[in-house]
Amino acid sequence: MNDVIQNSDWFKADGLRRVVSALSNAEGPPRIVGGAVRDTLLGHSVTDVDLATPLLPTDVMDRLESANIKSVPTGIEHGTVTAVCDGKNYEITTLRRDVATDGRRAVVAFSTDWKEDAARRDFTINALYADAQSGEIFDYFSGRHDLAMGLVRFIGDADQRIAEDYLRILRYFRFFARFGSSSADKEALEACAKGAHGLTALSRERIAQELTRLITLPDPVLSVQLMTDHGIFAPFLPELEQSAFLKLASVVEREARHKLEISLPARLLTLLPRDAAVVDKVSARLKLSNRLREQLVYRVSGELPTDTNIRELAYRRGMICAIDAAMLYADADMFEMCFARLENWTIPVFGLKGGDVIAMGVPAGPMVAKTLQSLEQIWISEDFPNSEDFVAKSRQIVGELLSATKKA
């Protein structure tokens, strides 16, 4: 098992080797902790490498400086220093134990006990450590077994872990969507349901960030269904419809079948009714970015998508918005017809400008814009014909319009 860690490219990286060398002493090297160990055991790619050490944060910074490695005190009061080496960031945290918690944050004391540090983490699969020199794995709470079984389980007492930080409820369902099997841990589900009221104490930004990370996983459907069944959404998203997970399942399936990129706006909207006022209110409550807020409202406004209006929708609101609207609000047959109308179709540019209309005889002034709008709508209604062909037709239309105006 050590070989799996030792032979990983990220483990052999020169930058990491330099950091490990700087932080090693007579008591041993630091240890890799959490996601890098977990994901390597699963055969997944590793992007972030975090380390733990019994060294105090000031000692960590001094040792890094002596090794000519840049250090940043990113969270030094909580024991975290970031080393920047060979263009890569390595987060290094001193071993800790919780002194006090309030459901949002913890007061910590530094420790030299590896198991004590592991015990304060959330899930068994996240409490895996690997010796940063030998690759030897340290597993204090059967994390490897749970990982192999697809079991996401809190360390120790689930109620206590949640009471320490209520965000762990949402993290549980995100990790279950990533690593869980078809059966969720009963104790974990009961504890999440019991502690859901505590989500009201969290900032809306933290909730929105965690919800976004969950909803954009490849397949979050079962997690969303479990959250719905156990009342997890009620404290922060009472607008959620009980059948939301079915709408989400439809969008996830359509994205996968047509090899579409995961759409955050579409997936979020599966959780809400098709009502612009409600969507805007929820967006404000969760303090979503202005851009995302606009994207959500845009997708629930206007006509329902059909095969006859889908190209106009794409022309006026963009291809992604049109596809999202069809995924969300068209039934199975209509969605396929809409998608067929958009597939391999490039949104055209309307070829006429004000000067062209004036050259056709329309006097400068408000009538130019009005005529352009009328011509553009005719062009759209005729399914965006070739610009050159439509220019010739436009001259005829404008000529008839001017003739009718003179007679009037």
* Encoded tokens for 45: 């790619």
Greater confidence, 288 or 356?
Answer: 288
Q: State residue 78's pLDDT score.
A: 86
> In this predicted structure, what is the pLDDT of residue 103?
56
- Percent of the chain as helix, strand, coil, to the nearest 5: 55, 10, 30
In this prediction, residue 100 carries a pLDDT of: 60
Report the mean per-residue pLDDT for the chain.
93
Domain with CATH 3.30.460.10 in the chain: 1-149
**pLDDT at 2 (0 to 100):** 63
Task: Report DSSP letters for 272-288, one per residue.
Answer: S-S-HHHHHHHHHHTT-
* Beta-ladder partners of 100: 107
Question: What pLDDT was estimated at residue 14?
Answer: 96
- What pLDDT, in 10s, does the model give residues 224-258? 999 999 999 999 999 998 899 999 999 999 999 99
145-168 pLDDT tens trace: 999 999 999 999 999 999 999 999
Quote the pLDDT of residue 109.
86
* pTM greater than the 0.95 cutoff: no
pLDDT on residue 361 = 86
Q: Taking the alpha carbons of 224, 227, 229, 231 in that order, is the dihedral positive or negative? A: negative
Decide if pLDDT at 106 tops 70: no
Residue 108 main-chain phi, psi, to 5 deg? -115, 160
Does position 395 have pLDDT exceeding 90, yes or no? Answer: no
CATH assignment, 1-149:
3.30.460.10
- List CB contacts of 163: < 8 A, sequence separation 6 or more: 101, 103, 195, 198
Contacts of 203 (CB under 8 A, 6+ apart): none
What was the pLDDT predicted at 181? 87
pLDDT at 101: 66
Phi and psi torsions of 98, nearest 5°: -80, 130
Give me the pLDDT at residue 271, please: 97
Of the pLDDT bands very low, low, confident and very high (cuts 50, 70, 90), residue 1 is low
pLDDT tens-digit profile of 261-305? 999 999 999 999 999 999 999 999 999 999 999 999 999 998 999
Count other C-beta atoms under 10 Å from residue 86's C-beta: 13
Residues across the chain = 408
Looking at residue 239, its amino acid is: E
What pLDDT score was predicted for residue 204? 94
Reading the block at residue 21, the tokens are 């060398």
> Is 198 within 8 Å of 166 (Cβ atoms)?
yes
Distance CA 318, CA 327 (A): 14
pLDDT of the residue at 152:
97
Q: What is the pLDDT of residues 79-93, one digit of tens each?
A: 999 999 999 999 999
